[in-house]
Amino acid sequence: MKKRALNIDHIEESERSAEAGKNSDFRPKTGALIVFEGPEGSGKSTQLDKLIKYFKKKKSKTVLLREPGGTVISEKIRSIILDRTHTNMSEKTELLLYIACRAQIIEEKITKLLEEGYTILQDRFYLATIVYQGYARGIDRKWIDELNKYALDGLKEDLTIIYDVTQAEAQKRMKKRTKKDRLDEEDTEFHTKVRDGYLKEAKKMDNCIVISTDNKDEDSVFKETLYHLERKGFI
């Protein structure tokens, strides 16, 4: 029984390779999930705005999704999470709301889009929960890992790009932001823990690139991003 299963796997694998050989022009036939992470003010939204335009110009099947959010239900949960008047939100509630958002976007959008061959540019994903709820809020990692596992249901990203920024630089940039949310109100110590968390986790991940953005203008960071995406075969 076991042998038969192995044989079937083998046949499917060969067929997939033959298929890949026929259409080796553009990689995301079966879709790709590219995640963008980094502290507030590291430039994720700025870069993703440029990237989605770049991908659309090439007419490739690409979508931009954000967390928390990305579906009608998740956007409603997002507004609860980020509401500045919710100063008494419990850490457990916050964690569970992020996980709820993730479960919804995965089931409703990500899984289907990947099956349809889309490249998904994802503004934040499970790493953000590890860093914000784990490193910065101090919630026991075992809950975070279990809940992430439950929401992800076996889904794995193809690449993570982390934009790094020092707190001093991020603060300078965030002064320009007029619309502040509940997380923008957190202190320097919180955001420093977030940054350190990203850098520590990056070292443990296999498909992860860190791009430092201090003293680099938006176009230089964009060029660096394209360089890595090309090198990894996504464009």
Residue 118: CB minimum distance to ligand ADP, A: 22
Region near ligand ADP per CB under 6 A, out of 2-10, 18-26, 201-209, 210-218: 210-218
Position 177 contacts Mg ion (CB under 5 A): no
Position 44 contacts ligand ADP (CB under 6 A): yes
Position 35 contacts ligand ADP (CB under 6 A): no
The maximal CA–CA distance of the chain, rounded, in angstroms, is: 64
Region near ligand ADP per CB under 6 A, out of 8-16, 200-208, 212-220, 227-235: 212-220
* Options 7, 24, 30, 45; binder of Mg ion; rule CB under 5 A: 45
Best CA proximity match to 105, nearest among 153, 44, 137, 146:
153
Sheet with 119-123, side-by-side order of all strands = 62-66, 119-123, 32-37, 159-164, 208-212
Query: Alpha-carbon distance 190 to 185, whole Å?
Result: 10
* Cβ pair 158, 34 in contact under 8 A: yes
* Options 27, 29, 46, 199; binder of ligand ADP; rule CB under 6 A: 46
Query: Alpha-carbon distance 157 to 32, whole Å?
Result: 8
Region near Mg ion per CB under 5 A, out of 7-15, 18-26, 44-52, 155-163: 44-52
Residue 203 φ/ψ, nearest 5 degrees: -65, -25
* Smaller CB separation from ligand ADP, 141 or 177: 177
* Smaller CB separation from ligand ADP, 46 or 167: 46
* Smaller CB separation from ligand ADP, 4 or 175: 175
Spell out the residues 6+ positions from residue 147 whose beta carbon is closer than 8 angstroms to its own: 95, 96, 99, 129
Residues of the shown chain interacting with ligand ADP in the complex, contacts defined by CB under 6 A: 38, 40-46, 173, 176-177, 213, 216-218, 221
